[in-house]
Amino acid sequence: MLLPLATWRRGGLRVLGWLGGDISDYPGPIISRRCPPALRGAGFRALWDRILSASPPADVVVLGRQLADLGGGANPLLTLPHTRHQADAHVAHLGPDWGRYYASRCSGRTRRRHRQKWNRMARAGAVSMAVLSDAAQRQEALQGFLDLKSAGYQALGVRDLFAEEGYRRFVRALCALPSGPLHFSTLRVGGSLWAGNLGLTHRGRLYLLFPAYRRTPAAAACSPGAALTRWLLQQGCESGLEAVDFTLGDEPFKARWCDTRLPVFQVTQPLTTRGRVMAGGLQAWGAIKRQLKQHPVLYPAVLRARARHSTTLGRLKR
């Protein structure tokens, strides 16, 4: 069993958590198939105590985004104190017939609306979609994709991961690999990048990690991100993929395509008196955010307000 852990400072406290956890929706232990079953259950607690004693001093353990099942076996970290994460994950299980799957998830009226938007997009220029398997193609498309993704983060008023050079270097290194699990897809209109998705493939599943799309009024009227998602689902059906995993987040569009909701958990374990204060605050704030994100009226209003605030700050900085 490998546990990629790190310690850092947050608000003056020492936190033990996932190494690189911000860029992964499913951080977790990497467990050998030969791992003794007892270490996935009650036996893990004794091992965990030894891990903590061998780790640098910390005030609190924060291990977020935990799935209950890891490769067909129990996640041993959920033998530790845990709560529900603020959002769940969503998976679409596919079949070999795209037409049947599409009709089962979208009404005739919705499919007509998709065709109308596609035709509108085609009038703006020739539409092409591709999965970039060549490292040179990936590198050529990457900067445009990162620009789209950063613009999306800024529009939502959330942290822009790709404004940080370390994350950009990490993605560039992935795209430079001649082979591997990276799945980089693009949608272009008239040669210009209108949408992209950076994900991974593993054991018959496609994981959609970083969707991005152009947010100009002309592009928004065509929904290029949604068009690329439909194409990826179609490609999945036709290539024999078992499932497309939309990963973490309760965005409404996922309910259209997905038939499985995966509960996600967070392990929060205080190790000192100061850590108990932080753990209590994290758990309370997580519960509030989960309730807010499930509200059909309040959460969209919060997103709109946050986006307006972000736009105003951006103008002031300029």
Model confidence band, residue 156 (pLDDT cutoffs 50, 70, 90): confident
Query: Average pLDDT in the 189-196 region?
Result: 97
pLDDT computed for residue 20 by the predictor: 77
Q: Is the pLDDT of residue 172 over 90?
A: yes
**What tokens appear for 45 in the block?**
């607690």
Model confidence band, residue 158 (pLDDT cutoffs 50, 70, 90): confident
Tell the CATH topology of 96-260: Aminopeptidase (3.40.630)
pLDDT computed for residue 261 by the predictor: 95
The answer to whether the CB of 187 falls within 8 A of the CB of 127 is yes
Pick from 3-7, 65-69, 250-254: least confident? 250-254
Query: Average pLDDT in the 105-113 region?
Result: 97
pLDDT computed for residue 146 by the predictor: 95
Q: Is the pLDDT of residue 315 over 50?
A: no
b/e for 106-137, b at 16 or more Cβ within 10 A?
beeeeeeebeebbeebeebeebebebbeeeee
The structural domains of the chain, with segments of one domain joined by +, span 5-88+263-317, 96-260
pLDDT computed for residue 241 by the predictor: 96
Q: Is the pLDDT of residue 185 over 80?
A: yes
Model confidence band, residue 24 (pLDDT cutoffs 50, 70, 90): confident
Higher pLDDT, 23 or 124: 124
The string of DSSP codes covering 45-68 is: HHHHHHHHHHSPP-SEEEEEEEES
Model confidence band, residue 318 (pLDDT cutoffs 50, 70, 90): very low
**What tokens appear for 124 in the block?**
């703006």
For β-strands 89-93 and 260-262, DSSP reports them as: antiparallel
Query: Average pLDDT in the 118-129 region?
Result: 97
Tell me the pTM.
Answer: 0.87
pLDDT computed for residue 294 by the predictor: 65
